[in-house]
């Protein structure tokens, strides 16, 4: 019927109308209206596992963890899920920020790794998909030793996730032999950069002003303020685990001079005085990873010097990442088609009401579509994939001269039912439904035959009026009595006259 002028939709079991009325009432009386709902912290991370290294773990080693996550269908954009890192033993996250993308490249969310946790924020992808889930991986550094073979991570809502440590704990730092030639190494730091170390025996830094030239993979950017040089006595090496108090730093500008190279990843340092032969010299600095660095990318760094052997080291970047996916929602559209002899009589502004309903995890959703007679389709979207939609049409409005036939729903995947139809929603698609109303013309009403006037019946001649004083004949009883009395008088009078006449004759 045309009393509906727009699509309406209701979710059974939710009192949205009552809530809106309550808010309006509060506003009218001047009371504070509660703020809009804030983003929620979800319990989404379902598992976490150390996948690298697979053997013994030592102090300052980097551990790679992989995990899985899934959010409820009620999740909203801006909702978050997180995992806090253990504090005993202390594991420090390697900083990183990365998107969670689905197979088509759509951003499901964005994650950030800090020193203490990984936190992911959902995008509006959750508004158009159900069963949203995915994976993620990230790195942490072991900064405390322990003989416990498990560590406990904590989800955002406080639930523990226990993770086994390969090798049964975190052992002490691995000892290193005393360098006899120039050696170079690199490690990714918790802020996501690469820190490079070059050790050179003092006896190889002879001459008036010994130099070291360093060239890294293009794309890496030297951070000049991080360049530092110092030395430790060879007999205090202690497998590389020397006491920091035994390390003597050199002063930039006075003890050494830094000269940037032609590329941002190259530079030269020059010692202003010969090195001491009984000491080991360390050059350290950091480089920024390129913005497009990806997990597993290898970065090389080569050092050469006026009196040292050229040596190269590589670092494989450990960049955090992950992915996401979901079951896309779909929808359906309904368009009216009027056919038959009566179609031309249907006014163009006629509308037709079609009810629909489908189940969801939050309850049954119902609504009404108002279809124009011109065939313009009306659509319902954001329906969970796999939901079964039931359709039924209201009785069409009466149109003079038109007889409505039984409405017929048609379309791919549409099944007719008693009183309507049903269809199953597909992911990422809109099912087109055509609703046909057959019509015929109303038969003419039976006509009333013309009335023929009956000819008047021949009238009986009117008898002459009786003499005055005599009652007229007729059906009246009073008249009959009068007539009898008159006849008796007449007979009596006649008899008298006859007797008189006889007397005269005798």
Domain holding 215: CATH number? 2.60.40.740
Are both 166 and 217 inside the same structural domain?
no
pLDDT of residue 39: 84
List of residues 6+ apart from 159 with CB closer than 8 A: 43
The domain boundary, picked from 295, 316, 337, lies at 316
pLDDT of residue 14: 37
Are both 70 and 168 inside the same structural domain?
yes
Comparing C-alpha atoms, which of 338, 339, 332 is closest to residue 350? 338
Are both 66 and 118 inside the same structural domain?
yes
Are both 123 and 225 inside the same structural domain?
no
> Which residues constitute the domain of residue 339?
329-441
Are both 261 and 136 inside the same structural domain?
no
453 belongs to a structural domain: no
Q: What is the tens place of the pLDDT at every residue in 9-55?
A: 444 433 334 333 443 333 333 344 444 557 899 999 999 999 999 99
* Sign of the CA dihedral with 481 first, then 484, 490, and 492 last: negative
160 belongs to a structural domain: yes
Are both 204 and 162 inside the same structural domain?
no
Are both 206 and 257 inside the same structural domain?
yes
pLDDT of residue 448: 57
pLDDT of residue 311: 86
Helix and strand numbers (H, E) in the chain are 2, 35
Are both 196 and 127 inside the same structural domain?
no
pLDDT of residue 236: 96
pLDDT of residue 419: 85
SS3 string, 234-288, reads HHHCHHHCCCHHHCEECCECCCEEEEECCCCCEEEEEECCCCCCCEEEEEEEEEE
Query: Cα–Cα distance between 119 and 81 in angstroms, integer?
Result: 6
Are both 252 and 371 inside the same structural domain?
no
Are both 51 and 129 inside the same structural domain?
yes
Contact 198, 212 (CB under 8 A): yes
The domain boundary, picked from 138, 172, 206, lies at 172
* Residue for token pair 């009335």: 451
In the sheet that 311-316 helps form, which strands lie side by side, from edge to edge? 256-260, 266-271, 211-216, 298-305, 311-316
Number of independent structural domains in the chain: 3
pLDDT of residue 354: 97
* Pair type for strands 298-305 and 211-216: antiparallel
1 belongs to a structural domain: no
105 belongs to a structural domain: yes
Q: What CATH number did the domain enclosing 346 receive?
A: 2.60.40.1140
Query: Cα–Cα distance between 75 and 362 in angstroms, integer?
Result: 12
Which residues in the chain land under pLDDT 70?
1-37, 445-506
Are both 218 and 296 inside the same structural domain?
yes
């Amino acid at each position: 019927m045309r009393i509906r002028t727009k699509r309406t939709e209701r979710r059974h079991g939710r009192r949205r109308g009552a809530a809106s009325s309550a808010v309006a009432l509060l506003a009218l009386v001047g009371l504070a209206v509660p703020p809009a709902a804030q983003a929620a912290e979800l319990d989404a991370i379902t598992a976490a596992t150390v996948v690298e290294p697979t053997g013994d773990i030592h102090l300052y080693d980097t551990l790679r963890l992989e995990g899985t996550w899934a959010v409820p269908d009620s999740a909203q954009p801006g909702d978050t899920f997180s995992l806090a890192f253990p504090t005993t033993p202390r594991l420090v996250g390697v900083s990183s920020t990365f998107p969670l993308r689905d197979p088509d490249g759509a951003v499901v969310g964005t994650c950030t790794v800090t020193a203490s946790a990984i936190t992911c924020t959902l995008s509006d992808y959750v508004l158009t998909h159900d069963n949203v889930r995915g994976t993620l991986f990230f790195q942490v550094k072991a900064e405390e030793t322990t003989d416990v073979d498990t560590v406990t991570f904590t989800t955002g809502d406080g639930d523990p996730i226990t993770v086994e440590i390969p090798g049964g704990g975190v052992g002490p730092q691995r000892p290193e032999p005393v360098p006899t030639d120039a050696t170079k190494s690199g490690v990714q730091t918790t802020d996501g950069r690469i820190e490079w170390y070059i050790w050179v025996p003092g006896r190889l830094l002879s001459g008036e002003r010994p130099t070291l030239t360093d060239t890294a993979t293009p794309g890496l950017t030297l951070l000049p303020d991080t360049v530092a040089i110092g030395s430790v006595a060879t007999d205090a090496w202690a497998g590389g685990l020397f006491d920091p108090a035994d390390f003597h730093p050199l002063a930039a500008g006075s003890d050494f001079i830094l000269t940037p190279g032609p590329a941002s990843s190259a530079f030269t340092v020059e010692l202003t005085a010969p090195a001491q032969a009984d000491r080991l010299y360390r050059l350290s600095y950091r480089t920024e990873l390129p913005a497009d660095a990806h997990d597993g990318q290898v970065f090389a760094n080569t050092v050469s010097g006026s009196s040292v052997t050229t040596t190269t080291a590589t670092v494989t970047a450990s960049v955090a990442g992950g992915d996401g996916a979901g079951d896309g929602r779909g929808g359906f559209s309904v368009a009216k088609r009027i056919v038959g002899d009566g179609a031309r009589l249907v006014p163009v502004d006629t509308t037709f009401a079609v009810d629909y309903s489908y189940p969801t995890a939050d309850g049954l959703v119902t609504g009404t579509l108002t279809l124009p007679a011109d065939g313009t389709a009306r659509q319902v979207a954001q329906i969970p994939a796999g939901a079964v939609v039931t359709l039924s049409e209201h009785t069409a409005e009466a149109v003079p001269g038109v007889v409505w036939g039984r409405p017929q729903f048609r379309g791919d995947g549409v099944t007719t039912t008693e009183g309507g139809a049903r269809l199953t929603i597909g992911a990422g698609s809109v099912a087109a439904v055509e609703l046909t109303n057959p019509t015929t013309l109303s038969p003419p009403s039976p006509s009333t035959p013309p009335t023929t006037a009956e000819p008047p019946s021949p009238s009986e001649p009117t008898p002459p009026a009786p003499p005055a004083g005599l009652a007229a004949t007729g059906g009246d009883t009073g008249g009959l009595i009068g007539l009898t009395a008159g006849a008796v008088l007449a007979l009596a009078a006649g008899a008298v006259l006859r007797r008189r006449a006889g007397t005269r004759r005798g």
